[in-house]
Structure 1
Amino acid sequence: MPKIARIVCFLIALSCIGWLGVAQAEVTLTEAWVRASNPGQSVGAAYLTLRSAQAVTLVYVETERAGAVEMHSMTMQNGVMKMRSLEELAIPANKPVTLAPGGLHLMLFELASPFKVGEQVKFRLCFKDQQGKIAEQFITMPVKTAP
């Protein structure tokens, strides 16, 4: 077999390995938006829906517009709203996880400037699959007023 044919076969084999499941799952990110904030406000929030064909875990989020981003949950306990930081957020296979006002959300800290309606904010999200591999995805979210 000529050398070029062996190289082509090798490249095809490598691409098949990825196709058979070695490649990392992609998470579908929809309904994404950032809540507009007021001048002087040092915190903000972002929301979106995540869906994946494979079970994955959201382990890290960042944006240049905030000093830190945390995943948070909000629950009502005895008439009091409680918010807590989450180390990671599980995304079950084929089940959407919705981050929305009053529930799960991304909390944005140390804002250098307020989020204004019409702006676009870029985020990097890092997901871990069941084999422990980390994949990153990028999304740009529009800034909107709360519904």
Structure 2
Amino acid sequence: MRFVIQRVLESEVKVDGESLGKIGKGFMVLIGVSNDDTKEVADKMVKKMLGLRIFEDEQGKTNLSLDAVGGELLLISQFTLYANCKRGNRPSFIEAGAPDMASEMYEYIIEKCKEQVEVVERGRFGADMKVSLINDGPFTIVLDSETL
């Protein structure tokens, strides 16, 4: 499982011009699921993400978590995080989770986040989404379950 976490001042996702989710200060997270991922892996990833202390405290040090700043979440599914570009110039996506399983994992992650975060917005699994954001910093972190 892979999360690309971007600390944002605001972010929004649209499908066909319709806004599906919009947040203020918080994390916009791109979520990639592989065929090997489980709910236990998702639990570990969500715990790590929500525990990240990457917001500035009064002294300007990155020392505060999402919860400490009342941050919001925008969760976007993105199978292309499992693109394999080793051979040729056309990426292969065979490492990405099968759509039914990946969709189930994405929904599970959303529900787990809702248990701990007041505002959790989302994209639409499998849709052609347009994501906009103002990256704060910029501050971007990649979490990969294989390295946690």
Structure 2 length normalisation: TM-score?
0.23
Higher strand share: 1
Higher helix share: 2
Structure 1 length normalisation: TM-score?
0.23
Structure with bigger RCO (C-alpha 8 Å, 6+ apart): 2
